[in-house]
Amino acid sequence: MVGVAVIGYGVVGSGVVELLDKNSKLFEKKAGQTVECKYILDIRDFPGDKYEDKHIKDFNIIINDPEINIVVETVGGATFAYEYTKKALRAGKHVVSSNKELVATYGSELLAIAKENNVCYLFEASVGGGIPIINPLYHCLAANEIHKIVGILNGTTNYILTKMIREGLSFETALKQAQQLGYAEANPSADIEGHDTCRKICILAALAFGRHVYPQNVKTVGITNVTLDDIAKAESMGRVIKLLGSAEKKEDGTVEIFVAPCAIPKDHPLANIEDVFNGITVTGDAVGDCTFYGRGAGKFPTASAVGADIVDCIKGTEKSNIMWVDSDNAEFVRSFDKLELEYLDKEIVLLD
């Protein structure tokens, strides 16, 4: 039996617990042995919860239990999750994470700790929710030199822009609707100001180009200043506006990386990806363009990616060999302010 502990019982964490229970026979078939969630760690109480007998509040119980092989971290943020992850890896436990902020900030360090302790640190769910992108990028496209990655990496902003384009809603009205539907948080700043997209494109860039890219070194522009006039101007040019994260390796070895609203042609692979869906286009020297599309967030789509990583840990895949070099980015990342890009208006990039 493989014992799993889930840290954080929010949307994703609860989805993982439910999926392990609901699809227990499938997990057993895929992994070759029984997979069971033994503990759920959260500081909150959940009286009457179906899995109430599994709830604990002491992280040391997990660390000291030899039956726990895999720790699933869905806490979010880069404080408590960082400490929990380091301790779990050093205790010889595999860690599976959906935490893009943690991976984008400390990925190179945590991967190194995992390698030192002969365990896996996997994070398929940190980018694209249920869309498989980490594994395809690092393994399935391993024979390619990756030239460029560009993607719609945040469902909240894509939903807002879709409503502005399709229904003529103002930014403020579309945001309010997204909040009412649960697509946007009460404080939506991480989404609408581009920080969520920035963390995700940093992870993808590190995987593709082999060096850690810190979010604070990436010029990031959100969608708060996009107006219906901008939407109309893009339409008159045969374009649509999408919030994109883009990372491209240049001939001199540097990486041109930014997050910004981009006016892209209507025949672009990402132009017709709407509502809360995400899309990521990867360009390799052998395969050309590959576009990955699907639900970029949500309880079960994200839990699906976590579950796949759990199975990979059990099967002993070599994913723990994923590594990238730490870097201060001084000579690696080209500043957005120096990019030779055209502008539609404000900071909306014309991107073909």
Asked whether 2 and 36 are in contact (CB, 8 A), the reply is: yes
- Dig out the tokens for 346 from the structure: 């404000």
Q: How many CB atoms lie within 10 A of CB 18?
A: 16
Local structure of residue 3 (DSSP, 8 states): E
In terms of Cβ atoms closer than 10 Å to its own Cβ (0-12, 13-18, 19+), residue 195 is buried
Cβ-count burial 170-186 (b if 16+ within 10 Å, e if not): ebeebbebbeeeebbee
Cross-strand bridge partners of residue 247: 149, 257
Q: Which of 114, 73, 112, 116 has the alpha carbon at shortest distance from 93? A: 114
Residue written as token pair 């002491």: 58
Asked whether 270 and 291 are in contact (CB, 8 A), the reply is: yes
Catalytic residue flag (residue 200): yes
Q: What angle do CA 29, 318, 282 make, to 5 degrees?
A: 95
Residues 193 and 165: their CA atoms lie apart, in Å, by 19
Q: What angle do CA 66, 322, 109 make, to 5 degrees?
A: 70
Which of 93, 200, 242, 319 is flagged as catalytic?
200
Cross-strand bridge partners of residue 259: 220, 245
* 3-state percent breakdown (helix, strand, coil) of the chain, nearest 5: 40, 25, 35
Residue written as token pair 């604070």: 216
Q: How far apart are the first and last CA of the chain?
A: 51
- From residue 221, how far is each of 226, 280, 336, 348 by CA, in Å? 11, 19, 10, 9
Residue numbers annotated as active site = 200
